[in-house]
Chains A and B, each alone.
Chain A
């Protein structure tokens, strides 16, 4: 019997996972890499990112500016050493991606173009029209095809980390086509599984964003860091949650309440310039404020009665019509297509209905600045990781760059570990793989005698998250959410699958994803309950101020068998920027 085995395993084939695989292909081609992904790589959610990826290239810009914008955008919860490394490596990574074929939009002289983005003092957001994530993912995926040392396991769903002797030695994964759980061994394992937006009901995220890697790490004893910080993107379509990129505001789009007023001026985000003003949009003001502040402004405007009411809840208007058809077709063609298809309006002449929807998870698997977790042999990069460079609120266009910088860092760290580590305990890992097969079969294929449904529990979870852990939270709302999550975890035990097939059983995968979502939700609500302050995207109406004395720290949620997670704290790394106030809207 043979054990499937590689030198390095990567779980997740999106931007971070592919960058990690390419890094090993380029720098250590003698090592074999296994990329395990529950979907084909070009389906990964990186594909739907639109606006751009940030890296300093303008002569009037500086690394210090990018660092300051990121740290202040993070409401000082970002580790400054991580941000410094990130900002420094960003330009080189972006140029490397260009060399691999990424079709960046250009200036007339042929150099890469950049656009303004929320929370950034100077333009540094590289873009490929308004489908940047799509173009980056396809450039990475197509480039990854050239490396013979990379083997892909497409549509293999990792269900468990296999650990032995205090280190991660591989994963157990469900091969969808055959229904078999196989152990795959690797001296280094890198989690690149993305975020968990699907625990909320309205999200820009795709169906696959269910926090799988975070749950895998959590169950293996690795803490989930800063999970209470989840980002609402201010402009998603009501109902579907489909993303209308921040770039539409970067190119001059404005937000209007039900009376046609640019309401952000009432929320400490500066004064509006007329759209025909040469300086509009002014960076760091109004519609180019950071996402957490804009989403909070929406909620406050809603409470004042300034928003419109629709079938899918309240909304406001995003107006890009003043840009004219030519500019919209050139700079925001995908936005126009999405509005026409899914909102039934043409933004060239009509207003786009938008509202805040969950978009990104700042929290995730706790890693250091080399992408290493507390479990030797386990690394994490991308949205599933929390280094932290995004702190309490992420600036738009930092996450696509993060995939490249930390994808590579994780690969390099995993390779170093590989060189220093002894062999895999083959028979132990194989035995664990077999045990996982038995566990899954018994867990999900036995009759439970219960009447719970996957869709029912999922809908209740999403509702509980939006009500209890939304834009504004209270002790009461969070306790209710904690209890609800616990209740749903118990009820989940009584789910019964109708599909017992071994061939491509998507009911089984949906059940496993729901289990992962419940674990991630648990870490989120308990971390939020414990953080009695307001910072960035975590806003408590019962504790409305930022409390650096007690909470200039990361929260770490450790899973506890049969009980509530244990929440511990770790200091934020401060180097050059002592904690200050975030200021937007001033001249």
Chain B
């Protein structure tokens, strides 16, 4: 009858989202890779702390560094950290929006400034390491 609380003839169909959702799309998979690289960034930070804590005993630290395990770690960590840095620098224009009057400063410029800063800081550290150490 027209004015009773109507019962529906059926119900909504709900599609479940599986735990493997991140394998369904290329963009999702790349996202997961980006997120996983932070393990390597964190791991490398721990490594740097270990370096600092062994600052007095350079020989022992150098011996540690020559072990196959740590060489492997360095080889894997470098591209991971680079990927992490590049993806995040490329995303900085989304986070930092700068207006000049009515126009947005181009995203390429924002990312570019970050790349330049990265290069400058890296250059300074390399210089300290090679020429001052």
A and B touch in the complex (CB under 8 A): yes
A183 to B4, CA, bound (A): 11
- Is A175 on the interface with B (CB-CB < 8 A)? yes
Contact B3 A182, beta carbon cutoff 8 Å:
yes
Q: Which residues of chain B are near A433, meaning CB under 8 Å?
A: 2-3
Interface contact A178-B6, CB-CB below 8 Å: yes
Summarize A's interface: helix, strand, loop or mixed.
mixed
Interface contact A430-B2, CB-CB below 8 Å: yes
What is the count of residue pairs linking A and B with beta-carbon distances less than 8 angstroms?
Answer: 38
Once A501-B9, A503-B8, A503-B10 are accepted as A-B contacts, the answer to whether A2 and B2 lie under 8 Å apart by CB is no
Question: Number of B interface residues, CB 8 Å?
Answer: 9
**Cβ contact within 8 Å between A178 and B8:** yes
Within 8 A of B (CB), among A153-182: 172, 175, 177-182
How far apart are the CA atoms of A346 and B8 in the complex, in Å? 49
Q: Are B4 and A179 in contact (CB under 8 A)?
A: no
A503 touches B9 (CB 8 A): yes
List 15 additional A-B contacts (Cβ < 8 Å) besides A4-B3, A178-B6, A437-B1. A1-B1, A1-B3, A1-B4, A172-B2, A178-B7, A178-B8, A178-B9, A179-B9, A183-B2, A430-B2, A430-B3, A433-B2, A434-B1, A437-B2, A501-B9
A77 to chain B, nearest CB (A): 42
Query: Binary interface profile of A, 501-515, with partner B (CB < 8 Å = 1, else 0)?
Result: 111000000000000
Asked if B10 and A175 make an inter-chain contact with CB atoms under 8 angstroms apart, the answer reads: no
Tell me the complex Cα distance, A513–B10, Å: 25
- In the complex, chain A residues whose CB is within 8 Å of the CB of B3: 1-4, 182-183, 430, 433-434
A366 within 8 A of B: no
Going nearest first, the 6 A-B pairs with the smallest beta carbon separation are A178-B6, A180-B6, A434-B2, A433-B2, A437-B2, A502-B9
Taking CB atoms and an 8 Å cut-off, the chain B residues in 1-26 that contact chain A are 1-4, 6-10
Residues of B within 8 A of A (CB): 1-4, 6-10
Residues of B within 8 A of A180 (CB): 2, 6
Question: Does A436 sit within 8 A of B, measured CB to CB?
Answer: yes
Q: Which of B2, B4, B6, B10 has the most chain A CB within a 10 Å cutoff?
A: B2
Q: How many residues of A contact B (CB 8 A)?
A: 21
The 9 listed contacts between A and B (C-beta, < 8 Å) are A175-B6, A177-B8, A182-B2, A182-B6, A430-B3, A434-B2, A437-B1, A437-B2, A501-B9
Interface residues of A in 412-464 (CB under 8 A from B): 430, 433-434, 436-437
Interface residues of A (CB under 8 A from B): 1-4, 172, 175, 177-183, 430, 433-434, 436-437, 501-503
B2 contact from A177, A436, A502, A503, Cβ within 8 A = A436
CA–CA, A180 and B7, complex, Å = 9
A181 / chain B contacts, CB cutoff of 8 Å: 2
Complex Cα–Cα for A63 and B8 (A): 54
Contacts of B1 in A (CB 8 A): 1, 434, 437
User: For residue B7, which residues in chain A have a CB less than 8 angstroms away from its CB?
Assistant: 178
With both beta carbons as reference points, the residue of chain A lying nearest to B102 in the complex is identified as A330
Complex: how many Å from CA A503 to CA B1? 16
A427 vs B30: C-alpha distance in the bound complex, in angstroms?
63
Who on chain B is nearest to A438 by CB?
A: B2
Instruction: Note all chain B residues with C-beta closer than 8 A to A430.
Output: 2-3
The closest CB in chain A to the CB of B11 belongs to: A503
Nearest CB in chain B to that of A184: its residue? B3
CB distance from B99 to the nearest CB of A (A): 15
For the complex, what is the distance from the CA of A568 to the CA of B35, rounded to whole Å?
A: 74
What separation, in Å, do the CA atoms of A566 and B105 have in the docked complex?
65
CA distance A510 to B45 in the complex (A): 64
Q: With A and B bound together, what is the CA distance between A181 and B2 in angstroms?
A: 6
A182 to B2, CA, bound (A): 5
Question: Please, which residues of chain B bring their CB within 8 A of the CB of A182?
Answer: 2-3, 6
Least CB distance, A328 to chain B, in whole angstroms: 16
Complex CA–CA separation, A503 to B4 (angstroms)? 17
Chain A residue contacts of B10, Cβ below 8 A? 503
Q: Which residues of B contact A436 (CB under 8 A)?
A: 2
CA–CA, A370 and B78, complex, Å: 75
Q: How far is the CA of A433 from the CA of B1 in the complex (A)?
A: 9
Give the docked Cα–Cα distance between A409 and B7 (Å): 38
User: Smallest Cβ distance from B97 to chain A, in angstroms?
Assistant: 18
Closest beta carbon of chain B to A65's beta carbon, Å = 31
Taking CB atoms, residues of chain B closer than 8 Å to A4 are 3
Closest beta carbon of chain A to B3's beta carbon, Å: 5
Bound together, the chains give a CA A503 to CA B8 distance in angstroms of: 7
Alpha-carbon distance between A571 and B67 when the two chains are bound, in angstroms: 101
Taking CB atoms, residues of chain A closer than 8 Å to B2 are 172, 180-183, 430, 433-434, 436-437
